[in-house]
Chains A and B, each alone.
Chain A
Amino acid sequence: MAAQILRRVVGSRSTQILSSPANPTSVLPALARAFSSQTPIRATLFPGDGIGPEIAESVKQVFKAADVPIEWEEHYVGTEIDPRTQSFLTWESLESVRRNRVGLKGPMATPIGKGHRSLNLTLRKELNLYANVRPCYSLPGYKTRYDDVNLVTIRENTEGEYSGLEHQVVRGVVESLKIITRAASLRVAEYAFHYAKTNGRDRVSVIHKANIMQKTDGLFLKCCREVAEKYPEITYEEVVIDNCCMMLVKNPALFDVLVMPNLYGDIISDLSAGLVGGLGLTPSCNIGEGGIALAEAVHGSAPDIAGKNLANPTALLMSSVMMLRHLNFSDKAEQIQNAIVSTIAEGKYRTADLGGSSSTTEFTNAICNNL
C-alpha cells in the first residue's frame, strides 16, 4: 500500500499534460496557463440535478479554502429544449466549455420524454468527448474486500456498441450495429499511451474479444499495437474481456492502465469502481477533441436525498482534482486529494454512504481543515 501511495504521488508530480496528443498545439495554452497562474482560469461548472448543486457547492468551498485560482462559469440545465442542440442543454453552455476548454459536471438526470437527446449524449457528441478516463484506487482507511487496486480505465466513448444504430429486420428480429473505426481506435490508443507515459504508469492492457469479433475488435487491437510500437518503454499486453473480468476480481493488482472499446469500458470501469467502494468515490474525466477536458461525477443524481445535506461529494471533488491536474495545478491537486483521503481515512467525518453520520457540510468543512 505504501508503495502505491508513493507511486501515485510521484506519478502525479510528473508533468501532467493531459491534452490530446493528436493535437499537439493544444499543449501550448495548457503550459501557458500553468506559468501564468496569477490570472484566474475560467472553467465551466454544471452543478447538475438532484444532489448536484450541494456537492458542487462543496467543490467551490474547498477550492476557495485551497486558494485555487479558478473562476467558475456556472451553467444549469434549461427547462426548455434548445432547438440548436435538440437538448435541454443550451448552445451557450456548450460554447462555454468550448471556450474554456475545461469544465466540471455534476450528475444530470435526463427528463423523460421524446424529441430531445440525453444530456450526456449531447455533451459527448457536441464536444466530441472521445475518451473517458477513470482512475480507481483503494482509499486508505476505507476498507473494501479488495485492498490492492490502483488502475486506470480508458474507454473509447464515441462509437462501438453504443453507435445507436438499430433496426428491426423483420418482425421479431432486431439488429444492432457495432462500429469500430481506425481513426477513433487510434485516437483513444494514442491517448491511453500518452496518459500512461505522463502519469508514470508502466503498463497498458488492451481489453478485447477479438477471438469472437475478429474484424471489429481485431481492428481495435491492430490500432493499439501500432501505437504501442511508438512507446517501447511501456509494457503492452492484450487481455480477453471475460478473462479480464475474472482477473479483476481475483487479483486487481495485476492491472495498470486499461484501454478498451465502448461497452467493455462501460462494464469494466463500473466493475473497477465497485472494487474500491462504488461510484460515489471514483472520479472521471472526459477528454475531447482539441484538448477539452470535462471532469464529472458519474454517479446518479440521487433525487431521494437531494437538498437534505446528506450527499457524499467525494466523486465530484476527486473529479475536480483530475481537472486541476489537467490544468497543471499539480500542487493544488495533490493538496486537495490528500485532504480528501485523510478525511475519509480519519473516519471521524463520513457521510452516510460510507457508514458515517456527517452532513455534506461537515464533511466539506473537515476537508477544508485538512488542507
Chain B
Amino acid sequence: MARRAATLPILRRLADTAASVRLSPLLPKPDVPNARSVTYMPRPGDGAPRAVTLIPGDGIGPMVTGAVEQVMSAMHAPVYFEKYDVHGDMKRVPEEVIESIKKNKVCLKGGLKTPVGGGVSSLNVQLRKELDLYASLVNCFNLPGLPTRHEGVDIVVIRENTEGEYSGLEHEVVPGVVESLKVITKFCSERIAKYAFEYAYLNNRKKVTAVHKANIMKLADGLFLESCREVATKYPSIKYNEIIVDNCCMQLVSKPEQFDVMVTPNLYGNLVANTAAGIAGGTGVMPGGNVGADHAVFEQGASAGNVGNEKILDQKKANPVALLLSSAMMLRHLQFPSFADRLETAVKRIIMEGKVRTKDLGGDSTTQEVVDAVISNLD
C-alpha cells in the first residue's frame, strides 16, 4: 500500500488513475509542462456532447449538483444535463426519470432523503432495483493535504446492491413479533464477486477481501462466500481473503492499510464503506457510484440517504468535493479521460492548498467558494 507514498502525491495518483483507464489518456501534468503520455485516440464523433440524467435530490443535493453543473460548464465538458425533480417523500421514482436514465445510460444524483418508518420505501433503493444497478462502489482514500487519523488508506468497497438485508420483505408474525428476510442468491453473489475481481483486474489492484458473517449466518453468508471463492480461482494473480464483518470494522480503525478491494453483501457494505470513508476523511469527500449491466448512477460515495441538516442548507456550506470527484469518475466512465483528469486535479489542488475548505474538513468556506476555487484551478 505504499503505492501512495509521500513524494509528489498528485502526480502519482494521476499516474495511477490514468493507468486504470485502459485508454492511455492525456496526462496533464501541471508542474512538468508538455509532458504527456501517449495520446488518447478517440473514435470519430466521440467529442459529441452526451446527455446525462441529473437528479438534484433533497437537502444539500441541489447545492452540490449545482456545483458540478458549474464546474462542468466552466470546463466546457461534453455533457449536458436532463434535470428531473425527485424527492425522497415521493411514493416512487417517476417513470420519466427511469426512462431518461435508460436512454442516457448515465445519471448523476444528489442524495434522496429516506423518511424513517413512514411507510415509504427508500427511493435510493428503488432506483437501484429498478435499473438493476447491482454493484455499489465507494472509493475511500487519503486526499493529500487533508490530515486524518490514518495514513495509507486506499480502499474500494464493492457492495451487492439489490438483495440481502435490503430485500424489503418484512411482516408481523403475531403482534409484537416481526420478521425480516435476508435473501442471498447464488446468481447475485456470483455477479458481484465477478464484478469485484474484474474491477481489481482492470485497475491493477492486488487483493480482494470478502466481508461476511458466515460463522453465524452459515447458509446465507456461506453462499456468498462460496460464490466469491469460485470466482477467485479464475483470478490467480489477485490475492483473495475473507474477514468477518465485526473484525473487519475493528481492523479498519486500527490497520486500514491492509485492505485493498472489499466485496460485501448489502448491509455490511453500507457499514464498511461508511467506516472506511470516515477514517479517510469523511463522507463529504468520498466518491462513488452504482453500476449495473446497462446503466450507471453516480452519487456521493457513502450515505446516499444522508442529505445534511438545516444549518448547512441555510449557510450554503455543503461540501461538494465528494460529488465533484464522483463526476470525475463519471467522465472517465463516459470515456472523457482528459476532462476527468482536469477535474480531479483541480479538486485535489484545492484540498492540498487547504485555503478553501468546508466545515467538515475544518474550514469555513461556502459551497460556492469551493466551486470558484476549483474552477480557477482548472488547467
Contacts and interface: CB of A to CB of B under 8 A. Distances in A.
Contacts of B279: 249
A273 interface: yes
Given A175-B182, A175-B183, A176-B220, A212 B166 contact: yes
A234 interface: no
B278 A178 contact: no
Contacts of A182: 175-177
B222 to A, nearest CB: 8
B180 A216 contact: yes
B371 to A, nearest CB: 24
A174 B164 CA distance: 10
Interface stretch (B299-307, B315-323, B345-353): B299-307
Given A211-B305, A275-B253, A173 B271 contact: no
A220 to B, nearest CB: 9
Interface residues of B, number: 61
A248 interface: yes
B254 A166 contact: no
The A interface, classified by DSSP as helix, strand, loop or mixed, is: mixed
B181 A176 contact: yes
Contacts of B146: none
B275 interface: yes
Interface in B221-279: 222-223, 245-247, 249-254, 267, 270-271, 273-275, 277-279
B181 A271 contact: no
B149 A145 contact: yes
B149 A146 contact: yes
Contacts of A171: 186
A253 to B, nearest CB: 13
A177 B125 CA distance: 20
A241 B183 contact: no
A279 B186 CA distance: 34
Interface in A21-46: none
Nearest to B176: A182
A186 to B, nearest CB: 9
B376 interface: no
A274 B170 contact: no
A179 interface: yes
Contacts of A94: none
Contacts of B282: 246, 250
Contact of B116 (A145, A179, A210, A279): A210
A175 B249 contact: no
Contact of B180 (A162, A174, A178): A178
B150 interface: yes
Contact of B250 (A166, A238, A278): A278
Nearest to B222: A174
Contact of B278 (A240, A246, A266): A246
A160 to B, nearest CB: 9
A285 B371 CA distance: 51
A271 B253 contact: yes
B182 A161 contact: yes
Nearest to B223: A174
A209 B267 contact: yes
Contact of A166 (B150, B166, B217): B217
B109 interface: no
A172 B222 CA distance: 11
Which of A145, A214, A270, A278 lies at the interface centre, i.e. has the most chain B CB atoms within 10 A of its CB?
A214
Contacts of B184: 173-176
Which of B180, B270, B277, B306 lies at the interface centre, i.e. has the most chain A CB atoms within 10 A of its CB?
B180
Given A173-B185, A212-B166, A246-B302, A267 B271 contact: yes
Contacts of A6: none
A247 B278 contact: yes
Contacts of A180: 177-178, 180
B183 A174 contact: yes
B278 A273 contact: no
A246 B246 CA distance: 15
Interface in A130-170: 144-146, 161-162, 164, 166-168
Nearest to A275: B253
A263 interface: yes
Interface string B91-132: 000000000000000000000001111010110010000000
Contacts of A212: 114, 122, 125, 165-166, 168
Interface string B190-213: 000000000000000000000001
Which of A164, A215, A238 lies at the interface centre, i.e. has the most chain B CB atoms within 10 A of its CB?
A215
B180 A213 contact: yes
Nearest to A223: B176
Contacts of B177: 179-182
Contact of B217 (A176, A213, A268, A274): A176
A240 B183 contact: no
Contact of A273 (B125, B250, B306): B250
Given A167-B219, A245-B278, A247-B278, A211 B116 contact: yes
B170 A216 contact: yes
Interface in A253-303: 263, 266-271, 273-275, 278-279
Interface of B: 114-117, 119, 121-122, 125, 149-150, 165-166, 168, 170-172, 175-187, 213, 216-220, 222-223, 245-247, 249-254, 267, 270-271, 273-275, 277-279, 282-283, 302-303, 305-306
**Closest 4 pairs (CB-CB, A-B):** A172-B186, A182-B176, A274-B250, A249-B278
